[in-house]
Amino acid sequence: MATAGSILGNSVLRKEDPGLLYGVNGYVDDMKLDTKAIVFVRSNIAHGTINSINIEDGVGMPGVLGIYTSDNTDLPAVPLFAMMPPNLSRPPLAKGKVRFVGDIIAMVVAETQTQAADAAEQVWADIEPIDAVIDIESAAAAPPIFDDMDTNVCFATNFPLGEDGAPIDIDPLEGADHVATVKMLTQRLAGAPMENNGAVAIPNEPEGGLTLWCSNQGPHSLQEPVAQLLGLEQEKVRCATPWVGGGFGPKSGLYVEYVLTGYAALQLGVPCKWAELRSENMVAMMHGRAMVMECKLGLKSDGKIVGMDAKVTADTGAYPALGAVLPMLTQLLAPAVYDVPKVKFNGTSVMTNTTTIGAYRGAGRPEATQLIERVLDIAAAEMGIDPAEIRRMNFLQPEDFPLVTTTGADYDSGEYEKALDAVLAASGYSDLRVQQQERRASGDAKQIGIGVSAYVEVTAPLGLHVEYTKVEVTDSGDINIYAGTSVHGQGHDTAFSTIVEDVLGVPMQEVNFFDSDTDTVARGAGTAGSRSLQTAGSGILVGSQKVLEKAKTLASHLLEASVDDIETTGTGLAVAGVPASALSWAELATAANDASKLPEGMEPGLAYEHDFDGQSSTYPFGAHVSVVEVDTETGGVTMLRHIAVDDCGTILSPMMVNGQQHGGIAQGAAQVLYEHVSYDELGNPQNANLMDYLVPAASELPSFEVSNTETASPRNPLGAKGIGESGTIGSTPALHNAVIDAVSHMGVTHIDMPCTPKAVWEAVAAAR
């Protein structure tokens, strides 16, 4: 929507960055309040019956204000996701049983953090161990971890379904000349945000209520359940976030720790703070991914896809939350960017004695892409077709859009071949293949691997295409904007303020942005699913246009000029060519609240608030090429290059889009090569700290080569689609395919992620 001279479509320095760089932006743990400290006593047993909890030694220690267990609290169980049955809700303080290492046994409140930690060490629980359910594939048949359940299966999704809702048994591979098969793990990941979780609860603010500050991606979604669980009226609960240091999905939704922090503040009548430790974060914050996936892909002899038969088993952890239903998104996007005439999909979610699974950058969509992109590479290798060409020949075509896919995804727009051609050209794909053959012929121990991926994802999914916004001009001339989305590093203030500048002419630095506070913003769905620009951004655009339209009408009335002759000046409105005939924004806002100065029929005030509705989701897409070097003698993998062409519709800020691409690619690389939350057979975490849980440093990654195509979405006035998760979704299968491609000539057909030196070396050794 950018026009000549428009700020939109150009890179600008972010308003947020000075405060971040100088360290003056405050997070939950930086709040300057006289708070009491909370420390949680967590189970070190994955599954067991609680015989007793002894708190006597801790109660009398210096500074201790209270120690709470399920025996001396009356808090109800916390539902972690609305689609899960109530009996699977999580007790804030473990009651009767513990179900994972990290389950909360007791809450200690003391004057200081040190005193609370000392007292926590004196709390002792007698827990009788029960065999832990850890393995995803055997969990369904294992003894239920909830006594009132007869299975550990908590959710299932199937496709296709009949009119009665029952699965239809079809053979999607009928007529295939070749069937490619893969079984793969998309391993469990820890979010590990730069800022750990945390909460500050202030009682009697407002009077008779509670203010809850927390590090969360959507405080509005917390207000109702927190009020209900603590027995307060909803309007008496304020939920807000200060600056949030990274989210990526795990910081969305309600945590029992928030409820317990609020409970302690109300019980003691003093502000209380919980500041999560890193080792605590690794077991307490929701994890991501954790699926075992299988696929059979049927193809004709020329490489055209006939159909796919896919099966996914998802780990939900001990208390099922959003992660339990993510197989629905995997099912929705199973055909991806390809024309897949027939699809059979079965998804099952099972509970295990591990940390709960929630959203993690992409949430169900990366899994769909990983599965089809991996099996396509296998098909290409088996059929002797170039990996790029087998994708090209199966793409959905631009003239088919908008279209509804086999599995029901309502794609808005896409030019998949254009993105693939761009990434192949940018990477020098043909030359790379020549270099690869030369390296193989030389017999060098270090071999080159080239991986290709194409993807589509859904942004603003699951009904998240509606968002509240408000644009107002105050009597002092301030331009204030409000959005129901929440910031955790993406640059919303800059993005939304540039939209206002483009419409109202007010420099973006002078626009005041408000979000993430139920007292300030009327309502909001928070930030998830890469939804913010297409929803809140579009709402800000419409609101700015409405305010300008009204202001022009008012100005034309007051200045006795035609509406068509009124133009923006940066400080207000003026008659074109007559700069002396002008009104400032303050004068306009004041006049808008003076009935004697309004044109007949005009409502007072210079503001516009509404719920923007994009009607449906949008579907970004792209293509990636990854180049690696694999040392076949040690299994070591070195990323040489990663080239990405992502399409997020109309681009408002190339710099911020590129930043999201870089961050997303890094997280994809981390899954392929480094990260994996692992447990032993007893359910003990094996790497619950950053010494043992591998996260790549910038020095271990190449400088990514990112660019974009732009295919506007027709579903919002900005033409925007999401970009926050695209880099991860596209990069993971490209890099995964590259690692395997490097050793495929040695007989290796698959390596599960993470492709550590040990895993790669073992695969090569087995093939030899």
**Are 523 and 220 in contact, with CB atoms under 8 Å apart?**
yes
Residues pairing with 296 in the sheet: 181, 309
Residue whose structure tokens are 């693939």: 420
Q: What pLDDT band is residue 5 in, cutting at 50, 70 and 90?
A: low
- Global confidence as pTM: 0.96
Is 70 exceeded by the pLDDT of residue 4? no
In the predicted model, is pLDDT for residue 1 greater than 90?
Answer: no
Query: How much of the chain exceeds pLDDT 90, in percent?
Result: 98
Kind of pairing between the strands at 305-317 and 237-240: unpaired
pLDDT averaged over every residue in the chain? 97
Runs of H (alpha helix) within 38-98: 56-59
**What does the block give as tokens for 664?**
């997303």
**Which residue has tokens 């290709």?**
452
Is 106:112 a contact under the CB 8 Å cutoff?
A: no
pLDDT in tens, 644-655: 999 999 999 999
**Rounded mean pLDDT of 126-134?**
98
**pLDDT for res 335:** 98
Return the H-helix or E-strand segment holding 483: strand 479-483
SS3 159: strand
* Residue type for position 683: G
Is residue 704 pLDDT above 80, yes or no?
yes
SS3 of 560-600: the string is CCCHHHEEECCCEEEECCEEEEEEEHHHHHHHHCCHHHCCC
**Is 747 buried (19+), middle (13-18) or exposed (0-12) by CB count in 10 A?**
exposed
* Span 330-383, pLDDT tens digits: 999 999 999 999 999 999 999 999 999 999 999 999 999 999 999 999 999 999
Give buried/exposed letters for 400-416 (b at 16+ CB in 10 A, else e).
Answer: eeeeebbbebbbbbbbb
Mean pLDDT of 451-468: 97
Bridge partner list, 334: none
Per-residue pLDDT band at 630 (split at 50, 70, 90): very high
Q: Which helix (H) or strand (E) holds 38?
A: strand 36-42
Contact 647, 640 (CB under 8 A): no
Is the preceding omega at residue 685 within 30 degrees of 0, hence cis?
no
Q: Mean pLDDT, to the nearest integer, of 311-332? A: 98
In total, the chain counts a number of residues equal to 768
Strand partners, 313: 292, 348
Eight-state DSSP code of residue 78 = B
At 579, is the pLDDT very low, low, confident or very high (cuts 50, 70, 90)?
A: confident
- CA dist 403 and 680 (Å) reads 46
In this prediction, residue 6 has a pLDDT band, given cuts at 50, 70 and 90, of confident
In this prediction, residues 68-84 reach a mean pLDDT of 95
Percent of the chain with pLDDT over 70: 99
Q: Strand 36-42 to strand 272-275: parallel, antiparallel, or no bridges (unpaired)? A: parallel
Strand locations in 367-476 (E): 403-404, 410-411, 446-456, 466-473
Residues 137-166, mean pLDDT to the nearest whole number: 96
Query: What digits encode the pLDDT tens for the residues 273-315?
Result: 999 999 999 999 999 999 999 999 999 999 999 999 999 999 9
Q: Which residues contact 484 (CB under 8 A, 6 or more apart)?
A: 220, 467, 468, 469, 515, 521, 522, 523, 524, 525, 526, 536
- The arithmetic mean of pLDDT across residues 71-99, rounded, is 96
Record the tokens describing residue 377, joined without a space: 């590479």
* Region label for 750, one of left (φ > 0), alpha (ψ between -120 and 50) or beta (otherwise): beta
- What pLDDT score was predicted for residue 3? 59
| DSSP-based helix, strand, coil % in the chain, nearest 5 | 30, 25, 45
Give yes or no for a contact between 107 and 262, defined as CB atoms under 8 angstroms apart: no
- Taking each continuous run of H as one helix and of E as one strand, the counts in the chain are 18, 28
Evaluate whether 622 touches 711 at the Cβ level (below 8 Å).
Answer: no
For residue 76, give the 3-state DSSP assignment.
Answer: coil
CA–CA separation, 738 vs 755, rounded Å? 11
